[in-house]
Amino acid sequence: MPLATVYSRARLGVHAPLVTVETHLSAGLPGFQIVGLPEATVRESRDRVRSALINSGFDFPVSRIVVNLAPADLPKEGGRFDLPIAIGILLASGQIPPNSTEGYEFIGELGLSGELRAVDAALPAAIHCAGAQRILILPSANTGLSSLVPGDDLREASSILAVTAHLNGQTALPLPQHTDPTPGEGTPCGDLCDVRGQLAARRALEIAAAGNHSLLFSGPPGSGKTLLASRLPGILPPLTEQEKIEVAIVQSITGKPLSLNRPFRAPHHTASAAALVGGGSQPRPGEISLAHCGVLFLDELPLYCEWQKTPAHCTNHSLSL
């Protein structure tokens, strides 16, 4: 079977478009070429895949290998395509049974020893894969996804040997254990009961939390504006199931541990426009996106105004959204 087809998922913001990994083995001078608009990290997978297969006890084909990542106009980045490329080579060279990859998708970065390492933006791939009614095989290091994606649609593996044993019908990959995401920096900073006095400000916080309003604190330094703002997440209602997925998807793109609490973001007053808004050749979330369904706390607001070349005031301000 000199031609094999395996499915994977790319990273495109909060989406995970389907990528078809086509592997073709042909006669000629030995070579390994990856086409389909791969970036440098994807092109470097040639050496990672070769060493991983050899060190795992597989035969690396001595032939001309062409791997096509379709669609060709979609940029591919990261090491997430190492595992599907390796599986495609094993399938095309007949080292795993034909049709054994039907109903599966693969993402994962390979170490030289054949171990699987975590990749970012795994949650969008898992959600889109479940929607396509396929099972996603991903590294065991990507933990915490089973609380948001049904366990029947996920399989976790620690190495490529475990993946091939599952595809060969020897040892089935276990279903991931249901584990809640670990608390991260989105954990609420404290309780409103820590605030003594400030009855008017406390009332304003309650109204803002109940009506989902923005809130502006104005006063001299040391009057308790930051303390009050940091207590706002603690009186917000718990995240709904849909909000949990939305927040977790944004966190998954950044590669940080998942936290299902309402996020609280407090960027420094010298943060750039790119840090606040996000962007880049491959879009990355900024502080505004990271505060989705939570609180964005802009301390020293006059300095933000001065940075934006708008009139500033001498009074110290804090803004919570």
Query: Would you list the DSSP string of 140-207?
Result: TTS-SGGGTS-GGGEEEESBHHHHHHHHTTSSPPPPPP--PPPP-TTS----GGG--S-HHHHHHHHH
| Mean pLDDT, rounded, for 286-315 | 68
What's 97's DSSP letter?
-
* Spatial separation of the C-alpha atoms in residues 251 and 148, rounded to whole Å: 13
Q: Which of 131-145, 209-223, 301-315 has the lowest mean pLDDT?
A: 301-315
Residues 6+ apart with CB under 8 A from 40: none
The more confidently predicted of residues 237 and 50 is: 50
Give the closest residue to 251 by CA, choosing from 283, 290, 279, 295: 290
Between residues 23 and 300, the one the model is more confident about: 23
Instruction: Please report the pLDDT score of residue 302 as a whole number.
Output: 60
237: preceding bond cis by omega (within 30 degrees): no
Residues facing residue 256 across a β-bridge: none
d(CA 92, CA 89): 5
Interval 224-246 mean pLDDT: 87
pLDDT for the residue 181: 54
Cα 143 from Cα 39, distance rounded (Å): 27
pLDDT band at residue 133 under the 50/70/90 scheme: very high
Cβ contacts of 195 within 8 Å, gap of 6 or more: 201, 202, 224, 227, 228, 231
Environment class of residue 204 by beta-carbon count within 10 Å: exposed (0-12), middle (13-18) or buried (19+)?
middle
Which of 58-72, 100-114, 163-177, 217-231 is the least confident region? Answer: 217-231
According to the model, what pLDDT value does residue 52 have? Answer: 97
Confidence at 273, pLDDT banded by 50, 70, 90:
confident
For helices 122-131 and 241-254, angle between their N-to-C axes, nearest 10 degrees: 130
Report residue 189's pLDDT band, with 50, 70 and 90 as the boundaries. Answer: low
Task: Please tell me whether residue 86 adopts helix, strand or coil conformation.
Answer: helix
Highest average pLDDT, of 110-114, 245-249, 287-291, comes from 110-114
Q: pLDDT value at position 180?
A: 56
Single-letter amino acid, residue 117:
R
pLDDT for the residue 142: 84
> According to the model, what pLDDT value does residue 315 have?
41
CA dist 153 and 134 (Å) reads: 7
pLDDT of residue 73: 92
- Cα(111)–Cα(293) distance, integer angstroms: 36
| Sign, Cα dihedral of 124, 10, 81, 1 | positive
What digits encode the pLDDT tens for the residues 16-56? 999 999 999 998 899 999 999 999 999 999 999 999 999 99
37 dihedral zone (left: phi>0; alpha: psi -120 to 50; beta):
left
Residue 276 banded pLDDT, cuts 50, 70, 90: confident
Name the residue type at position 204. Answer: A
Distances (CA, A) of 146 to 72, 98, 151, 212, 253: 32, 29, 5, 30, 17
Pairing of the two strands 264-265 and 295-299: parallel
Is 81 a residue whose pLDDT tops 70? Answer: yes
pTM for the whole structure: 0.79
241 contacts 248 by C-beta, under 8 angstroms:
no
Q: What is the mean pLDDT of the chain?
A: 85
**In the chain, what percentage of residues exceed pLDDT 90?**
45
Other CB atoms within 10 Å distance of the CB of residue 66: 15
Cα 29 from Cα 275, distance rounded (Å): 48
